[in-house]
Structure 1
Amino acid sequence: MPASHIRPVIRRAVRDDDAALAALDRRTWSPLHAVQPGPPPAGDPFFDAVHLPSHFLVAEYEGRVAGYLRLIAPTSLPAHAHVRQIQGLAVDTWARGRGIARALLEAACAESLRQGAARITLRVLGHNAPARRLYESAGFVVEGILPGEYLIEGEYVDDVLMGRRLTV
Structure 2
Amino acid sequence: MILMPVPHIRFATFDDEDTLGRLDRVTWSPLHAVTPRPRPPYEPFYNERFGPRDHLVAELGDEVVGYIRLGFPTPLPCNAHVRQIQGLAVADEARGAGVGRALLRIAQEEARRQGARRITLRVLGHNTPARKLYESEGFVVEGILPEEFLLDGAYVDDVLMGRHL
Is the deviation greater in 45-54 or in 14-23? 45-54
Aligned 8 A contact 1:25 1:40 in 2:
no
Aligned to 1:91: 90
Residue type of the partner of 1:97?
A: G
Q: Which residue of 2 aligns with 1:104?
A: 103
Report if aligned partners of 1:4, 1:98 keep a CA contact under 8 Å in 2: no
Identity of aligned residues (%): 61
Pairwise CA distance, 1:127: 0.5
Query: 1:144 — aligned with what?
Result: 143
Identify the range of structure 1 (73-82 vs 155-164) with the bigger mean alpha-carbon deviation: 73-82
Read off the aligned partner of 2:82 and give its amino acid letter. Answer: V
Residue pair 2:4, 2:97 contacting (<8 A) in 1 also: no
Query: Deviations along 1:121-159, whole A, 9 cap, x unmatched?
Result: 000000000000000001000000000000001110000
Which string of whole-angstrom CA distances, capped at 9 and with x for unpartnered residues, describes residues 84-131 of structure 1?
Answer: 000010000111110000000000000000000010000000000000
* Structure 1: stretches of 5+ with no match in the other structure: none
Structure 1 segments, 4+ long, off by >6 Å, are none
Deviation, 1:3, is: 6.8
Deviation at 1:42, TM superposition (A): 5.9
- Residue 68 of structure 1: SS of its match in structure 2? strand
Aligned CA-pair RMSD = 1.4
Distance 1:101 1:114 in 2: 20
Aligned length: 165
The worse-fitting range, judged by mean Cα deviation, of 50-59 and 65-74 is: 50-59
Asked if the contact 1:25/1:39 (under 8 Å) is kept, the reply is no
